[in-house]
Structure 1
Amino acid sequence: MKKISSLPTVVEIAIVGFGPAGAALANLLGAYGVNTLVIDKADDILPMPRAIALDNEALRILQMVGLKENAFKKIAIPQVRLNSPYAGEFGRVNTTGSIDGHPKLVTFYQPDMEAALRQNLKQYPHVKTLTGVEMQDFVDDGQQVHLQLTQKDGTAQQVSCRYLVAADGASSTIRTRLGIDFLGETYPQDWLIVDARQVRQPINDIEFTCDPERPVPHMTAPDGRERWEFMMKPNETREQVLQSEFIRQLLKPWANPDDLQIERTAVYRFHARVAQQFSKGNVFLVGDAAHITPPFVGQGLCAGLRDVANLGWKLAWVVQGKANRHILASYDQERRPHAKSMIDLARAMGLLIKPVNPLAGMVSANAVKNLRRLSPIRSLIDDLKIKPRNRFGNGLFIKNDKEGRLERGNHLAQAWLREDQGQGAWSDDVLGNKFNLVGFGVDPRSYLSPTQQHAWLDAGGKFVQINPRGRCALDTESWEDLTGELLPKHAPVGWVAVLRPDHIIMHDAPACQSEQLVKQSLALLA
């Protein structure tokens, strides 16, 4: 059997699928120094727009995996508008501003983002990428996973890994062969997607025309791009709607078709599905292989990036001997409930965007319009408070008790910090992708013995002190919180917290209890 040249036969982690989720995970594992192989049957990036929206959480994860803010073009979206033929504008979501240092909502061009992820990956020599190669089969023997790979010319080879990650999309071969059910529904309607570039001034926001006759989401994207999604009528065929003249007629209410350069047209059927489990044995599912979200809240790719942030560091800690493999069980425990909540939100939004008939459209639009006159309800919709929080009910953290002041299982907010030399940085970059014992206005080492400090460092930890503005310590890594986002908004002075590498709060306590804090946190890993 002819072998694939320069292909390692044994790696720590194999990732099947080199789309955004697979590429982001490869970057994260690369930063940790994990020997990784990425496999994809496509020769190159698909040069077509697909995913189009990212929220502040997804942008924060891309920051974590190493992408600079200007790594690819984005457009911040100031608002999302819901329009009805029966009630006019009945909903408006305010997406102006930022959360944790990132815009609340942006649109982007997916090939540009994928190219940025692949370019960033080149700095990691221990990450090998293999394109134009298909995984034919795999066997998990309990200790390793053995993959059978084949090139297009028939060249084949076996590769073994400790853990396999399926990032191979909604029709995941790996998920199917594991026998994991993909629970949920497939929508009965087909949708025509039209991506175009134009010479006119594009719209500034995202708008939904919630007409039961033909609902249409419409949005802007970088470099003069726009997207329309037209729900097809029952009597319309795929061949009919893909005709250029048919598309021209659809676009006329929004633009002069002569001003548009069509980049892509495609017919899709939307799905709302989540895998019954996100892992089995030594195999893990991420991205569309684990869940598919209807596009009505723009959370499909965002959910995949959340998977990556949660799973990446856990795999790294296990293969590098810093944690017991039992921590990997928390991936499913933490991620699956939130993914399902996002899918449920998208399904609910779908009922507003595509009402089943004119009466339902009239009732739902006017109901939302009237409810928005009530301040608490308006805040839920307009300020995105209806969006499920990415906070864990169960998982790899110490549950809150009477001693806790921070919300364990939730992310620590990101703040703009300044070191004693005057250099500014975002707190996520200061903390890095490590375990952190953070002291708020106090040296986090103050109550730890030298032995405990070494144990913390051996577990991949570090010590950081964050002070109120105007205070700086000289005997430890110390930063001032210039925005007041952390002190005193979230943490009191004299408090310490254990932060996971994904910036989830694992534990917190007064500084005088640091010894017990570190002991309990290390016990979760060992």
Structure 2
Amino acid sequence: MSYDAIVIGYGPAGATMANLLGQRDWRVAVVERSRTVYADPRAITADHEAMRVFQHIGLAEEITRGTVPHPGTDFVGADGLPIKHYEPAPPPYLLGWEPNFMFCQPELEAVLRRGVDRFPNVEVMLGRSCRAVWQDEDGVRVQVDDDVLSAKYLVACDGASSGVRRDLAASLDDLAFDEWWVVVDTHVSGDAELPERVTQYCRPERPGTYIVGPGALRRWEIKLLPGEDPEEFRAPEKVRSVLGRFVDVGQVDIQRVAVYRFHALVVDRWRHGRIFLMGDAAHQMPPFLGQGMCAGIRDTVNLAWKLDGVERQGFDASLLDTYGQERKPHVRAVVETTKSLGVIIGETDPVEAARRDDTLRNLPRMTSVRQKSIPGLDSGLIALDEGGPGVAAGELFPQPRTSQGALLDDVIGAGFWLVVHRDDVLDQELRGTWAEVSGHIVHVTEEMDPDRLVRGWSEQFDAAAVIVRPDRYVFGAARDRDHLRGLVVDLVRRLRGGTAVRS
């Protein structure tokens, strides 16, 4: 059996990738060894960028019905008083959705899988296992139990213990974080006195995290102390004893207990010929910023449009190299931020904890906006200047809601955008060059942008025009006609296999 792509693994990343490719009329096989969605919550927090991808595949509205906004995070020091706050970005929302939200992973995965069911061109093979993988210049072959499938590409979303990654002998960069934590999911059943916000208990005697999930779901992530054996925490009485330091255990029903070894790992090579690593197969990070699943969703939207561009629009195959060029440094930056939060939360030395508390309380600001911790792109298919990214390059383009309540992505549609703020930057020659990427030319009106999200964002870059990629990252912003002409020529040249032009 032959396909355009084979996706190994049917978690959030695999299911999102199947939706993105199915939407583009690719013939796809999805191979998943489990027959059902994993029943317990794992990821619990995601952000507006992930929701924008779910919007792209037409599932955001259904997903939001099972979510609640992130309430913000308080970091509490050794003395029980605040040392730091993280707040969601205030409205109007830059990407059209709540900046951060809480969800139940089994419910979200079920929606994603129902989304895949819309596409007769996607075949889902549950209860089947990938046994071996081969590739040559023309495609890949995958042994799935006793069958051999062939495709042009393979996307491995098969988790932290990825068999495909192992077979490729792909090396992982260890970013030096290795700690044992116990995760306890509960449903509140009584009159438990609990914070209304996510709380990081930075207590040296027992660090822990309290998370407010949707409905009655409440989670604690509790650090194991030096010398403690992870096996001890498989005993219910041990878990209840430790959890009792955070909540009256008589007021909650324990739903799940899992002991995890939190890692910070990023795969060295993301592309191996026609095989791509994605999601937990490509990176693992501690949960302190709630970005693990988000990183996998970013992987999907980054790769899907590039695969389609190469196969359907004649873009040069070198475009596929930018998948790893962009995603690897981005993930590393997010992991480093996450690690820094883990260091704040997990300090077990009382003297160092007191020093940490004094330092954080004496900073000019104790409050940070959560989304400012997530960087843009700094390499790959973006406009380059001598010092790195050009004007606005690698930033996410805003998505306002129109005066009728529609979202900009839905109004304009898929593909590249050339967002024009001044008519004098366009001429017929430039329009002809732009047509080579089959993109839209967009004039954002007041009706389309009633809160001036796009206009205000563009003004900070003095942008007369902005080139926006299909994944809604900015290729570059132009100050005038000559600058724009250079950007458009640069983009076309690189999509057709040329080298970058410094703007």
Q: Given the two structures, how large is their TM-score scaled by the length of structure 1?
A: 0.86
Residue number in structure 1 paired with 2:450: 482
Summarize deviations over 1:239-268 as a string: whole Å, max 9, x none: 432333333333334433333222111111
Q: Does the CA-based 8 Å contact 2:384-2:390 persist in structure 1?
A: no
1:264 matched to 2:256? The reply is yes
TM-superposed CA distance for 1:458, in Å, is 6.4
Q: Distance in 2 between matches of 1:338 and 1:284?
A: 17
Amino acid at match of 2:36: D
TM-superposed CA distance for 1:189, in Å, is 3.8
1:204 matched to 2:196? The reply is yes
The percentage of counterpart residues that share the same residue type is 29
Residue number in structure 1 paired with 2:500: none
Root mean square deviation of aligned Cα = 2.6
Summarize deviations over 1:113-142 as a string: whole Å, max 9, x none: 111111112222212111111010011112
Residue number in structure 2 paired with 1:427: 408
* From 165, 173, 177, the counterpart of 1:183: 173
Q: Distance in 2 between matches of 1:448 and 1:33?
A: 33
TM-superposed CA distance for 1:238, in Å, is 4.1
* From 367, 370, 376, the counterpart of 2:362: 370
Q: Structure 1 pair 383/509, CA: closer, same or farther in 2 (3 Å)?
A: closer
Q: Distance in 2 between matches of 1:495 and 1:93?
A: 34
1:83 matched to 2:76? The reply is yes
Q: Distance in 1 between matches of 2:157 and 2:48?
A: 22
Summarize deviations over 1:264-291 as a string: whole Å, max 9, x none: 1111111011111211111111111111
1:399 matched to 2:391? The reply is no
Q: Does the CA-based 8 Å contact 2:29-2:122 persist in structure 1?
A: yes
Please give the secondary structure, in 2, of the residue aligned with 1:359.
Answer: helix
Q: Distance in 1 between matches of 2:15 and 2:175?
A: 28
Residue number in structure 2 paired with 1:293: 285
Q: Distance in 1 between matches of 2:227 and 2:457?
A: 57
Amino acid at match of 1:440: H
Summarize deviations over 1:373-428 as a string: whole Å, max 9, x none: x14xx4xx522476141x222211222589x995122221122235xxxx442112
Residue number in structure 2 paired with 1:44: 36
Q: Does the CA-based 8 Å contact 1:441-1:494 persist in structure 2?
A: no
Residue number in structure 2 paired with 1:6: none
Q: Does the CA-based 8 Å contact 1:215-1:354 persist in structure 2?
A: yes
Q: Structure 1 pair 493/303, CA: closer, same or farther in 2 (3 Å)?
A: closer
* From 502, 509, 515, the counterpart of 2:471: 502
Please give the secondary structure, in 2, of the residue aligned with 1:106.
Answer: strand
Structure 2's unaligned 5+ residue stretches are 497-503
Q: How does 1:428-507 map to 2 (within 5 A)?
A: 428-440=409-421, 442=423, 447-448=427-428, 453=432, 456=434, 459-467=437-445, 469=446, 480-491=448-459, 495-507=464-476
TM-superposed CA distance for 1:40, in Å, is 0.7
TM-superposed CA distance for 1:503, in Å, is 1.1
Q: Does the CA-based 8 Å contact 1:436-1:464 persist in structure 2?
A: yes
TM-superposed CA distance for 1:88, in Å, is 2.0
Q: Does the CA-based 8 Å contact 2:78-2:204 persist in structure 1?
A: no
Residue number in structure 2 paired with 1:153: none
Residue number in structure 2 paired with 1:141: 136
Q: Distance in 2 between matches of 1:212 and 1:183?
A: 29
Amino acid at match of 2:157: A
Relative to total residues, which structure has the larger strand share, 1 or 2?
1
Q: Distance in 2 between matches of 1:206 and 1:347?
A: 18
Amino acid at match of 2:54: L
Q: Does the CA-based 8 Å contact 1:208-1:353 persist in structure 2?
A: yes
Q: Distance in 2 between matches of 1:186 and 1:130?
A: 37
Q: Distance in 2 between matches of 1:257 and 1:508?
A: 55
Q: Distance in 2 between matches of 1:132 and 1:40?
A: 6
1:250 matched to 2:242? The reply is yes
Amino acid at match of 1:387: S
TM-superposed CA distance for 1:169, in Å, is 0.7
Residue number in structure 1 paired with 2:156: 166
TM-superposed CA distance for 1:234, in Å, is 4.3
Q: How many residues align?
A: 488
Q: Structure 1 pair 50/186, CA: closer, same or farther in 2 (3 Å)?
A: farther
Residue number in structure 1 paired with 2:127: 132
Residue number in structure 1 paired with 2:499: none
Q: Distance in 1 between matches of 2:472 and 2:327?
A: 15
Q: Distance in 1 between matches of 2:99 and 2:218?
A: 19
Q: Given the two structures, how large is their TM-score scaled by the length of structure 2?
A: 0.90
Q: Structure 1 pair 494/505, CA: closer, same or farther in 2 (3 Å)?
A: closer
Amino acid at match of 1:506: F
Please give the secondary structure, in 2, of the residue aligned with 1:487.
Answer: helix
Q: Structure 1 pair 241/58, CA: closer, same or farther in 2 (3 Å)?
A: same
Q: Distance in 2 between matches of 1:139 and 1:235?
A: 44
Q: Distance in 2 between matches of 1:25 and 1:518?
A: 29
Residue number in structure 2 paired with 1:23: 15
Q: Does the CA-based 8 Å contact 2:325-2:380 persist in structure 1?
A: yes
Summarize deviations over 1:124-180 as a string: whole Å, max 9, x none: 221211111101001111221110111xxxxx1111111111101111111111111
Q: How does 1:218-237 map to 2 (within 5 A)?
A: 218-237=210-229
